[in-house]
């Protein structure tokens, strides 16, 4: 991983077109403000579009968003992965590499990375800015859900303007019949709920009998059971990581924010 200052200098040489293509607003509104500042820190480097490294060596994973994966382990970079990383570099440079952190309710992930909402010194949310530019998608991982509504509003701006990721075919909502046989990765899928099932350790939403959506038992506390039971027959859009599985697809669901009810009948998931 490059030192931040060196990478920024190199970025000025080899990424001018990226910056022209991804302009940041001169006077961006302050979205998703911090309710408290737990720490002020200096950023030493950027791992990818949603992970950075502080001066003391700690890795910080940005809560509530997901950016495209860079190339690694013989896998190609996902579309706009490098652009997302460079956008994060640029935002940090605007703040002199100094940021404010507000920790999540769950402070560390399974990789021992610190989980935090990150803010520039002028109060702007880095997560919201990345979402506004279409350089990340909003994704809620419980129990760190306290900015999810605001992050989805920031994402909606990019979706409406087809910025960044939202101009790509991979990020357009698809029906199951539109999927390739071995299609995988982050997707927005639309379909009709055919049934709800329970098994030991999980509940399952079956979409058109072709997509199995698993909700682990420890995540069921975030879902109203009455809402789940009302889903059969309704049209929904679900977001998450799609995996091909024999003649079907599989997706893990952790929070109701990942489900949008497309039918006009209102229902509350949380």
User: Could you read off the pLDDT of 50-69 as tens digits, one per residue?
Assistant: 999 999 999 999 999 999 99
23 lies in the same domain as 88: yes
Domain membership flag for residue 30: yes
Final residue of a domain: which of 124, 139, 167? 167
| Entry pTM | 0.86
Give the span between the Cα atoms of 86 and 68, in whole angstroms: 12
Final residue of a domain: which of 103, 137, 167? 167
50 lies in the same domain as 113: yes
Per-run averaged pLDDT (10 residues), the chain, 270 residues: 43 37 46 94 98 98 98 92 98 97 97 98 96 98 95 96 97 95 93 95 96 97 95 97 93 97 62
83 by DSSP, 3-state: which? Answer: helix
Give the span between the Cα atoms of 50 and 127, in whole angstroms: 8
Q: What is the pLDDT of residues 206-253, one digit of tens each?
A: 999 999 999 999 999 999 999 999 999 999 999 999 999 888 999 999
**CATH (domain of 39):** 2.40.50.90
Q: How many domains does the chain fold into?
A: 2
125 lies in the same domain as 181: no
211 lies in the same domain as 162: no
178 lies in the same domain as 161: no
129 lies in the same domain as 34: yes
DSSP per position, 113-160: PEEEEEEETTS-BHHHHHHHTTSSEE--BTTB-TTHHHHHHHHHHHHH
140 lies in the same domain as 10: yes
């Amino acid at each position: 991983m490059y030192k931040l200052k060196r990478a920024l200098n190199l970025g000025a040489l080899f990424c001018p077109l990226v910056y022209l293509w991804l302009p940041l607003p001169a006077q961006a509104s302050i979205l998703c403000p911090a309710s408290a500042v737990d720490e002020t820190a200096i950023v030493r480097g950027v791992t990818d579009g949603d992970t950075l490294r502080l001066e003391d060596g700690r890795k910080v994973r940005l809560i509530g968003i997901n950016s495209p994966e860079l190339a690694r382990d013989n896998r190609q970079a996902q579309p706009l992965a490098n652009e997302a990383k460079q956008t994060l570099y640029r935002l940090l440079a605007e703040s002199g590499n100094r940021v404010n952190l507000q920790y999540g309710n769950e402070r560390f992930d399974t990789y021992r990375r610190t989980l935090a909402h990150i803010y520039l010194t002028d109060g702007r949310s880095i997560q919201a800015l990345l979402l506004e530019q279409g350089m990340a998608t909003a994704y809620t991982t419980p129990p760190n859900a306290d900015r999810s509504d605001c992050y989805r509003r920031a994402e909606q701006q990019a979706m409406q303007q087809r910025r960044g990721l939202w101009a790509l075919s991979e990020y357009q909502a698809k029906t199951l019949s539109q999927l390739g046989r071995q299609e995988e990765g982050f997707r927005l899928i639309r379909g009709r709920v055919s049934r709800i099932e329970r098994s030991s350790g999980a509940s399952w939403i079956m979409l058109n009998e072709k997509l199995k959506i698993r909700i682990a038992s420890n995540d069921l506390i975030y879902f109203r059971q009455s809402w789940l039971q009302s889903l059969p027959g309704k049209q929904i859009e679900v977001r998450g990581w799609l995996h091909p599985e024999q003649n079907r697809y599989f997706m893990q669901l952790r929070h109701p924010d990942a489900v949008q009810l497309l039918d006009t009948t209102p229902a509350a998931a949380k």
